Amino acid sequence: MKVIPFTIPVSGEQSIIIQEDREPHFYPHLHQHPEIQLTWVIEGNGNLLVGEQVHRFQTDDVFLIGANQPHLFNSDPAYFSADSSLSIHALTLFFDPHQMRQTLGSIPELSGMGAWLKDFDRGIKIGSATKARIIELMLKIQTAHSLKRVAFFLDLLECLTSGQDTFYLSQQTPFAISESEGQRMSTVFQYLLKHYADELNLEKVAAQVHLTPPAFCRYFKKHTRKTFTVFLNEIRINAACRFLKEEQSISVAEIAYSTGFNNIPHFNRTFKRVTGQRPNDWRKEKFR
């Protein structure tokens, strides 16, 4: 698998493309494109990989992904089951930031939006304070035409640029990655997302991309800015959060062991490092 240079179906008469998807699961390949992408997950659950970070996504989440930022909405394994009745539904808006900056830069009153687009190079999760308004504008853009469509889009940009409760999906600015490097990283990410609960070691993972453990450690740190162990633990904690929220009858200890941790103290310490809370406190907060 490689980082696919995905082509958005663009009409020469439109600078704002909106696409509605109803499928058994999300597009299953790590990919990138020069357009900025705004996605509302109307229905669906899984893990979102953006740059070097993995995050949980669920129904009604909204994400803004930067231009040429490798990403993957990885639906939960249940969506790929042969007898699955699950499906995903998403509304996505695409636009070319370079083209949009040129247009906005020629209008003094809109130059601030153009500057924001120039500086935007990391994905964000839209916070609750602005999410409802952004969804409303996406729906209006979907059905609007001509000048009304542009007017709603400008309103949307203003809403995005003024958002106060956004959460960054990636902690680093994008960096150039070749197709062969992208293929290797995609193979590693997919393997970890599928086997995070197994007893993994460096030798087993490094073998997936035909590297020795020392060479793999250097390669992984170069492309994620973090060690393999830290990245794997973050994936496991994301899975633990899902179980803590969805499986209230399962104990914290059972969840720890089912997500690949072999002792409870280590799980508790790692959970607090990643989320800022202990597992029981995190679970209680979700069900207040």
Query: Could you tell me if 141 and 207 lie in one domain?
Result: no
Query: Could you tell me if 201 and 143 lie in one domain?
Result: no
Query: Could you tell me if 94 and 45 lie in one domain?
Result: yes
- Give the DSSP letter string of 207-270: HHTT--HHHHHHHHHHHHSS-HHHHHHHHHHHHHHHHHHH-TTS-HHHHHHHTT-S-HHHHHHH
Query: What whole-number distance in Å separates Cα of residue 152 and Cα of residue 164?
Result: 20
Write down the pTM of the prediction: 0.77
What CATH number is associated with residue 110? 2.60.120.280
pLDDT of residue 208: 92
Which of 148, 168, 188 is the C-terminal boundary of a domain?
Answer: 168
Q: pLDDT of 254-264, one tens digit each?
A: 999 999 999 99
262, part of any domain: yes
Structural domain boundaries enclosing 163: 4-168
pLDDT of residue 278: 94
270, part of any domain: yes
Give every residue of the chain whose pLDDT is below 70, as ranges. Answer: 1-13, 119, 163-166, 171-182, 288
What CATH number is associated with residue 207? 1.10.10.60
Query: Could you tell me if 16 and 144 lie in one domain?
Result: yes
240, part of any domain: yes
Query: Could you tell me if 143 and 208 lie in one domain?
Result: no
pLDDT of residue 161: 84
Query: Could you tell me if 147 and 267 lie in one domain?
Result: no
Q: pLDDT of 145-168, one tens digit each?
A: 888 999 999 999 988 887 666 677
User: With b meaning 16 or more CB within 10 Å and e meaning fewer, what string describes 73-106?
Assistant: bbbbeebeeeeeeeebebbbbbbbbeebbeebee
pLDDT of residue 92: 97
Query: Could you tell me if 21 and 150 lie in one domain?
Result: yes
pLDDT of residue 2: 44
Structural domain total, the chain: 2
pLDDT of residue 1: 36
Query: Could you tell me if 218 and 133 lie in one domain?
Result: no
Angle at 165 between CA 237 and CA 106, to 5 degrees: 125
